Amino acid sequence: MLASAFYPTPLKLTIAVAPILRVEHLTKVYDNRVRALDDVSFDVNRGEFLAVIGLSGSGKSTLLRCINRLVEPTSGRVLLDGTDVTGANDAELRRARRRIGMVFQHFNLVHRSSVLTNVLAGRLGYVNPIWSLIDRFPKDDIAKAHVQLERVGLADKADDRADDLSGGQQQRVGIARALMQDPDVILADEPVASLDPVLAHSIMRHLDEINRTDGVTVLCSLHFLDLVHEYADRVIALNEGKLMFDGLPAEIDDEKFKDIYGKEAQRVG
Amino acid sequence: MPRFTHSLLTGLIVVIIVVIYAYGFSVTQVNLDELDSPDRQQSLTRILRALARPNFFEFDQEEVAVETPVWVPCPSGEPPAPSVAPASGPYMTVTPACGDPNSEVTVEGFGFAPNSSGPLNFIPPSGVSLQIGRIETDGGGHFLTTVELRDRPNAEAQMLRAITRTNVGGPHLSQNGRDTIDKIIETVFMALLATTLGTLLAIPISFFAAQNLMRTVTSPVPSVALSIILAPAGVWLGARFAGVVQEMTALLAAQPLFSLGGLLAAGAVAWLGLRLALPGAGEEEERGDNSLIRIVSGAVMAVAVLAGAYFLADLLEAAGVWLATRLGLFDFVGDFVADIGGIIRLLLPVVCALIGAGLFLGVAGSLGQWIAERFTPATGKIVNLILGALAGAVLLILLGLGVGWLYQITNWRSIILWPGVIGGILGLGVAALTPYNASLPTGYVVYTVTRTILNALRSVEALIMVIVFAVWVGIGPFAGVLALGLHTVAALAKLYSEQVESIMEGPLEAILATGANRLQMIVYAVIPQIIPPYISFTMYRWDINVRMSTIIGFAGGGGIGFLLQQNINLLNYRSASAQILAIAIVVSLMDYLSSALRQRTL
Ligand SMILES: Nc1ncnc2c1ncn2[C@@H]1O[C@H](COP(=O)(O)OP(=O)(O)OP(=O)(O)O)[C@@H](O)[C@H]1O
Ligand SMILES: [Mg+2]
């Protein structure tokens, strides 16, 4: 908020002093002995747009899911704004999660529920749990949900069933749901991989706009380098669970590219 | 060589199959001679003919008796005048009008009901009627037959009497038809109640039997131990609490007006308590600020709700009795209202015990979590050992008490002391072997136990369960409802839980990622996904229950099966046929209905 007040567009203030997110020696070994993350450490600065790249199976999804502990890390620490997420108990974890919005490749909307209910679900970490069980939300939250739907251009779809929307529209509902959390950080796991290129840009622009005007830090895993160049402030790259690269998008030269994607890879983007 | 072993193996398999079927024929007593024997075929014909004429309708019948005099032997004077045709109605003539004993006479009838039949009787002055033949009239109501007079010589005129029965009016339901309709309605409602009861219970149980929901639930060692120790206390306290409140409300139950007042007062208090305990739908309060007020108001609210429920039960029972005396034909509605009151009263202690257990489990969970987090490994281990020993002791003492009750053992040493000691040692051992900060797969254990119980229940047919229930609540439809309901719970909970297991994981992840708790996840991500399959499985079960309820009467469960069995045992095949027909019609109708409804929900 502060950043946008002082610097309307396109300048961005990223504060390097206290990172909003710090990942320390994160390792994840799945039950089937696959080492999906191997001693990964990096910081994310407040207000940054960080892209996560890597081949399929390199551990991008695992990394993002370890941050809000949808996947339980095997070892290492995740610090959100200085508080330890990995050591949090149930209640603390829920408090941490409500500050971390998440956007998914397959949108993960509840199909048979209305768009409005899907968006309101973003408030579940805040509202009184007992009232929420009988589908009662505070008036403010309902008003807020309409505002967010308006923001992603779906004001007229509030009462539609979620599965009646197109893919691009569903992803925008997903973004509105994440915004309802008043997040400090949004984790976006290949948010555009199931969409065509035109829609992909529209979704990326929404994330970009949220990043700039609301100062929300975005961690976004991406497949295409051109999207990385266009939207990301910084890139980290994974290969077989190891951190191979951490720097500016422009720094990915052919050498680095081969490190990240392997010797045979052809550069297209 | 492999070729040779291959053929050898094939030959062996063929031999084994032949032996299996041969043995099957012998134990099932396949006997083709029986199929062929004329006696059996006659029985078959008889039963098929009876079945083809279901006893549903009957006619009112009118008996018409026509008499004409006859002399045996002929009187000595002039021969008797032949009878004359009356102006109207049926009459018959005898020629000759007198004869020696055992001589033949011709009897001719006119103006009878067409195509009717009946006996022709000889009535001596003693009045005893002796059948000497049968008459069958043609389309014009005429008959002609020759009969032999009986050897009952008498000077007086004796009588020949022809009796014909004719249907009058249209066909109407026979007694059997009426019973069949009564019972088939009872049957359908048995299926309805059993399905409702089963569905209501199966829905919550299905969540515990779903692996994907339960797998992720784990608890630290102290939580598990404390849960085992505290849950029985919660059950006991909950039930006790219900008992105390019931005694309090019973003081006012004599006067329905007092009950009404109590209900209103309790409702008001409960609403106030709700306001205080839950500060609106807004922000979740930070812990600690006014939690004392919330706990106190929560407790007051609990008492008020419970008292209100008891008042409601009293009121419903009073209202039901009042209604039943006033509604005449619809008095069953009054009975129903009173029964609802009774059901509430019956369920309240159970519900309270469950809530008590739930509350104590919650407390045990958080307390255990707190212990697991606060203590150093060494202290933690010691606490675990103590709690483990206690939990083991409690578990085995409960088991001991159960066994003691079942086998009527009263010796306290063998049902309390020894189980306690052994349980304590076992618990100590388990706690010693588990790392102090291990998280135990409680969810998986609950899942496995639930599944096992469901599988065991499901393998016992409702037709067998009803035998136990018939002993408990008496032979009749209520026993049938309970047995079918129980079987429905087991069957549906399994089908439901399989649906839960096959839902999309994505929305669950998304809801959890917002900071929602498990219950919120279930309400927002699981339930919307499972509604259509739940409806469709309920319909499917309804189908099965209709079928089952038609035969559950064979084992004492009431409904049409009861009637059918009686008629078969009494060899009333025509009556049984009506019931079989009714079953066929109703089952196929329900089948059609439910499949039509199922189509709609998908
Ligand atoms: N639940 C799981 N159990 C076992 N192994 C898993 C699980 N999830 C992922 N893996 C494995 O971990 C590795 C990393 O997977 P991950 O999904 O994080 O990769 P990714 O970079 O997101 O790939 P993609 O681009 O295809 O989404 C893969 O080898 C995958 O097979
Ligand atoms: Mg992925």
Say yes or no: A122 contacts chain B, CB-CB below 8 A.
yes
CA of B585 from ligand 1 middle (Å) equals 56
Residue A51 CA to residue A260 CA, distance in Å, equals 14
Banded pLDDT at B326 (limits 50, 70, 90): confident
The pLDDT value recorded for residue A2 is: 42
What is B182-205+456-602's CATH number?
1.10.3720.10
Tell me which residues of chain B, numbers 512 to 571, contact chain A at a CB-CB cutoff of 8 Å: 512-517, 519-520, 523-525, 528-529, 531-532
Whether the pLDDT of residue A5 is over 60: the answer is: no
CA of A25 from ligand 1 middle (Å) equals 18
Tell me: domain B60-173, CATH 2.60.40, correct? yes
CA of A145 from ligand 2 middle (Å) equals 28
The pLDDT value recorded for residue B388 is: 93
Banded pLDDT at B79 (limits 50, 70, 90): low
Q: Between chains, do B531 and A174 touch, taking CB under 8 Å as contact? A: no
Nearest-CA residue for ligand 1 atom 28 is: A57
Banded pLDDT at B290 (limits 50, 70, 90): low
- Across the interface, of B280, B373, B513, the residue whose CB is closest to A68 is B513
pLDDT tens, residue by residue, A64-109: 999 999 999 999 999 999 899 998 888 899 999 999 999 999 999 9
Q: Which H or E element spans position A246?
A: strand A242-247
The pLDDT value recorded for residue A268 is: 61
Measure B601 CA to nearest chain A CA, in Å. Answer: 13
pLDDT tens, residue by residue, B239-271: 999 999 988 888 877 777 888 888 888 888 888
Banded pLDDT at A9 (limits 50, 70, 90): very low
What number of other Cβ atoms are within 10 A of residue B275's Cβ? 12
Question: How much is the mean pLDDT over chain B?
Answer: 88
The pLDDT value recorded for residue A87 is: 87
Return the structure tokens found at B382.
Answer: 């010691």
CA of A204 from ligand 1 middle (Å) equals 23
- Let me know: does A98 contact A144? Beta carbons within 8 Å: no
Q: Between chains, do B528 and A68 touch, taking CB under 8 Å as contact? A: no
Say yes or no: A144 contacts chain B, CB-CB below 8 A.
no
pLDDT tens, residue by residue, B453-471: 999 999 999 999 999 999 9
Whether the pLDDT of residue A31 is over 70: the answer is: yes
- Let me know: does A137 contact A123? Beta carbons within 8 Å: yes
Sign of CA dihedral A84, A85, A86, A90: positive
Q: What is the average pLDDT across B506-513?
A: 95
Residue A133 CA to residue B408 CA, distance in Å, equals 46
The pLDDT value recorded for residue B168 is: 80
Q: Give the chain A residue whose CA is nearest to the CA of B275.
A: A131
Residue with tokens 């509605």, as numbered in its chain: B333
Question: How much is the mean pLDDT over chain A?
Answer: 89
**Percent of chain A having pLDDT more than 70?**
92
Whether the pLDDT of residue B31 is over 70: the answer is: yes
Residue B427 CA to residue B378 CA, distance in Å, equals 18
Q: Which residues of B touch A177 (CB under 8 A)?
A: 510, 514
Q: What is the average pLDDT across B402-424?
A: 90
Q: Which residues of A touch B441 (CB under 8 A)?
A: none
The pLDDT value recorded for residue B303 is: 87
CA of A37 from ligand 1 middle (Å) equals 10
pTM of the model: 0.78
Q: Give the chain A residue whose CA is nearest to the CA of B504.
A: A108
Say yes or no: A131 contacts chain B, CB-CB below 8 A.
yes
The residues lining ligand 1, judged by C-beta closer than 6 Å to any ligand atom, are A 30, 32, 34, 36, 54, 56-62
Nearest-CA residue for ligand 1 atom 2 is: A30
Measure A174 CA to nearest chain B CA, in Å. Answer: 9
The pLDDT value recorded for residue B97 is: 83
The pLDDT value recorded for residue B332 is: 84
**Percent of chain B having pLDDT more than 90?**
45
Nearest ligand 1 atom, CA A28: 12
Whether the pLDDT of residue B567 is over 90: the answer is: yes
Q: Between chains, do B514 and A128 touch, taking CB under 8 Å as contact? A: no
Residue B455 CA to residue B13 CA, distance in Å, equals 33
3-class SS of residue A48? coil
Residue A51 CA to residue A246 CA, distance in Å, equals 10
Say yes or no: B106 contacts chain A, CB-CB below 8 A.
no
Q: Between chains, do B284 and A102 touch, taking CB under 8 Å as contact? A: no
Residue B47 CA to residue B39 CA, distance in Å, equals 12
The pLDDT value recorded for residue A247 is: 92
Banded pLDDT at B372 (limits 50, 70, 90): confident
**Percent of chain A having pLDDT more than 90?**
74
The pLDDT value recorded for residue A7 is: 43
Residue B266 CA to residue B300 CA, distance in Å, equals 10
Which of A110, A144, A175 should one mutate to test binding to chain B, selecting the residue with the greatest count of B CBs within 10 A? A110
CA of A106 from ligand 2 middle (Å) equals 10
Ligand 1, pocket-test mutation among A58, A63, A242, A243, most atoms within 8 A of CB: A58
The pLDDT value recorded for residue B99 is: 84
The pLDDT value recorded for residue B281 is: 45
Q: Which H or E element spans position B378?
A: helix B377-406
Ligand 1, pocket-test mutation among A26, A29, A30, most atoms within 8 A of CB: A30
Ligand nearest to the CA of A52: 1
The pLDDT value recorded for residue B602 is: 63
* Distances B61 to B165, B166, B225, B304 between C-alpha atoms, Å: 6, 5, 79, 66
Residue A192 CA to residue A209 CA, distance in Å, equals 16
Q: Which residue has the higher pLDDT, B226 or A135?
A: B226
The pLDDT value recorded for residue A66 is: 96
Domain residues of chain B, as ranges? 3-49, 60-173, 182-205+456-602, 223-374
Residue A154 CA to residue A115 CA, distance in Å, equals 9
**Percent of chain B having pLDDT more than 70?**
96
Q: Which residue has the higher pLDDT, B593 or B86?
A: B593
Q: Which residues of A touch B371 (CB under 8 A)?
A: none
What number of other Cβ atoms are within 10 A of residue B442's Cβ? 17
Q: What is the average pLDDT across B32-59?
A: 88
Give A88's contacts (C-beta < 8 A, 6+ positions apart).
Answer: A69, A95, A96
Q: Between chains, do B280 and A174 touch, taking CB under 8 Å as contact? A: no
